[in-house]
Structure 1
Amino acid sequence: MSCGNPHETDCSEVLDHLYEYLDNEMSDDGCAKFKQHFDECHPCLEKYGLEAAVKKLVKRCCGSDDVPTDLRAKVLTRIQLIRAGEAPAPVPEPSAEVEAAAEGSPAS
């Protein structure tokens, strides 16, 4: 996606790091660059607005669900591996607790 106009920060860079921006995981300088880009680029601003709305909807609809402790630990470990640039660990088969939580029923 691009509006066709040159920007200091390329549209592809903005879209590749959009969730870091949405999750407040960027430096102040990075946030300032993205804010400037959104001021200049309507297509990226629209994409930002759409993703922000989806994130808000998911939080409202799913924000109160309890996450199994082992699933949370596995996800955090995988995130750390990816951020460190290491090969991601293979995704294990879901446990009975995870499958039951996904279906909304207690594990047997």
Structure 2
Amino acid sequence: MSADDRRHDPDGHSHENVSDEECVDFLERIVYFLDNELDRSDCAAVQLHLDSCNPCLEKYDLQRTVKQIVARSCSETAPEELRNRVMMRVRQVQVEITER
């Protein structure tokens, strides 16, 4: 078996029959997997790959964590005072533009 057909996790376990090309394909589909945009059979295939390929699982975990952090950050709202100041400035700029 060639090095391209085997993956190793940090514990030294090998994951046989996983090629670099397969990993590239699955890594491209991780985003869709995270967003629940794959059909049932594709989800099963991605999950099976993640269960057997620790390097891809680590990349999946990283993508999932980043997605969660971004989602949390986007749900926060600015304080009312800040929002009012921003809106006032936007209106000022709109008036300046229309007066030109």
Q: TM-score, normalised by structure 1?
A: 0.55
Between the two proteins, the alignment pairs up a number of residues equal to 68
The answer as to 2:7 corresponding to 1:3 is: yes
Deviations, residues 64-90 of structure 1 (Å, cap 9, x unaligned): 56xxxxxxxxxxxxxxxxxxxxxxxxx
DSSP-derived class of the 1:7 partner = coil
Q: By percentage of residues, which structure has more helix?
A: 2
DSSP-derived class of the 2:64 partner = helix
- Residue identity in the other structure for 2:53: C
| Counterpart position of 1:58 | 70
Q: Which has the larger radius of gyration?
A: 2
- Which stretches of structure 1, 4 residues or longer, exceed 6 Å deviation after superposition? none
Distance in 2, Cα, partners of 1:54 & 1:23:
13
The answer as to 2:36 corresponding to 1:24 is: yes
1:36 is aligned, of 40, 48, 58, to 48
Percent identity of paired positions between Structure 1 and Structure 2: 34
- Asked whether the 8 Å contact 2:7–2:18 carries over to 1, the reply is no
Distance in 2, Cα, partners of 1:18 & 1:40:
15
Higher relative contact order (CA 8 A, sep 6+): 2
Q: 5+ residue gaps in structure 2? A: 1-5, 9-15, 78-85, 94-100
Distance in 2, Cα, partners of 1:17 & 1:51:
12
Distance in 1, Cα, partners of 2:39 & 2:76:
29
Deviations, residues 41-97 of structure 1 (Å, cap 9, x unaligned): 0000000000000000000011356xxxxxxxxxxxxxxxxxxxxxxxxxxxxxxxx
Q: 5+ residue gaps in structure 1? A: 66-104
DSSP-derived class of the 1:17 partner = helix
RMSD: 2.4
